[in-house]
Amino acid sequence: MELSQIIPHIEALVFASDKPLTTLELVELLNNALAFIEDRASLEQVEAAIDGIREKYSGEFYAFELLQSGGGWQFLTKKEYHKTVAQLNGDKFLKRLSTASLETLAIIAYKQPITKSEIESIRGVNCDYAVQKLLEKDLVIISGRNEEAVGKPLIYSTSKSFMDYFGINSPDDLPKISEVMMEELVKATVITNGETPEIIEEEVVSVTVSEDAIEETTGKQFET
């Protein structure tokens, strides 16, 4: 099957789909639609067609592009058009997560799979409400139970919606901790028995998540 035949069908499938489509799904859908038993599209042909589509829409004359996000392929508007598109979507682009939910989401994203008690030990406060809001927004999921812990508590992980929202395909695509952490030097005063106080510099590392940084990267916001 020629690439010139495959490309427009892939474009139509990605454009019409309400969820990201994987390369294997595109192969299956394409062959089901065309029903060419003796001349079926191969995985290699579809991959080549996707490369061609990506190159086509990467040009400056297009406001959207083909990106792999949320585990599959999607047509997405380019970041530089966020403010323009936001005018049409109103509150959808003005939704924010509370600070507590944002902190909880960051912990789950980087420590998953993780139990609620482990989240609370990191944050130092009860996380029931924050976890519930994240579940309601489909940003995290219950991915099982910790069979080795007392009571076999539920464990939480980020969802496909989380990956889709932030434009990644797996938790491995998240920014490295070194890119988002803030380092501080905290001076501690140590008093010894009758001796001169000694000033010790110790490095304290804390991980912070900036909403502004997330919005700049994704062009999206949340509300509680």
Report whether the peptide linkage leading into residue 113 is cis, meaning its omega lies within 30 degrees of zero: yes
Low-confidence residues in the chain, pLDDT < 70:
35-38, 89-95, 178-224
C-alpha count within 13 angstroms, C-beta hemisphere, residue 120? 11
DSSP state letters, 187-218: EEEE--TTSPPEEEEEEEEEE---HHHHHHHH
The pTM assigned to this predicted structure is: 0.58
Identify the three-state secondary structure at position 1. Answer: coil
60-116: per-residue pLDDT in tens?
A: 899 999 998 878 899 988 989 888 887 886 555 446 778 888 899 999 999 999 999
pLDDT reported for residue 25: 94
